[in-house]
Amino acid sequence: DAGITQSPRHKVTETGTPVTLRCHQTENHRYMYWYRQDPGHGLRLIHYSYGVKDTDKGEVSDGYSVSRSKTEDFLLTLESATSSQTSVYFCALRDSTSYEQYFGPGTRLTVT
């Protein structure tokens, strides 16, 4: 599983509260991604990173921010959670040599 973990795996939070999801890798790959997965929409890119402190927006970035202060950690923050952000969030990395993309186990977030 390419040494990629996510925490927490499940979270229930209230509307308006801040939430941070963590993605951690052990293999020093440069590219990391955050996706959300919702029925009927497949996997949609939120933000991605191409190195420490280098990030860019994906197609559904509104309401989300990211940070990458170390190669191994990529954080996704919902500044003020809304019910529309209830989803399953997947972190992924891209292997630096093969270019294959591997996913973390996912975080199920429920905003009530």
Query: Which positions touch another protein (CB under 8 A)?
Result: 1, 30-31, 33, 40-45, 48, 50, 56, 58-59, 90, 94, 99-106
Partners of 109 in the β-ladder: 11, 87
Nearest approach in angstroms of CB 97 to another protein is: 11
Burial class (CB in 10 A: 0-12, 13-18, 19+), 74: buried
Nearest approach in angstroms of CB 75 to another protein is: 19
Nearest approach in angstroms of CB 101 to another protein is: 6
Burial class (CB in 10 A: 0-12, 13-18, 19+), 40: exposed
Taking the least distance from each CB to another protein, the nearer of 54 and 79 is 54
Residue 30, phi-psi category: left (phi > 0), alpha (psi -120 to 50), beta (remainder): alpha
Distance between CA atoms of 1 and 111, rounded to whole angstroms? 28
Nearest approach in angstroms of CB 98 to another protein is: 9
Taking the least distance from each CB to another protein, the nearer of 16 and 51 is 51
Taking the least distance from each CB to another protein, the nearer of 19 and 36 is 36
Taking the least distance from each CB to another protein, the nearer of 15 and 46 is 46
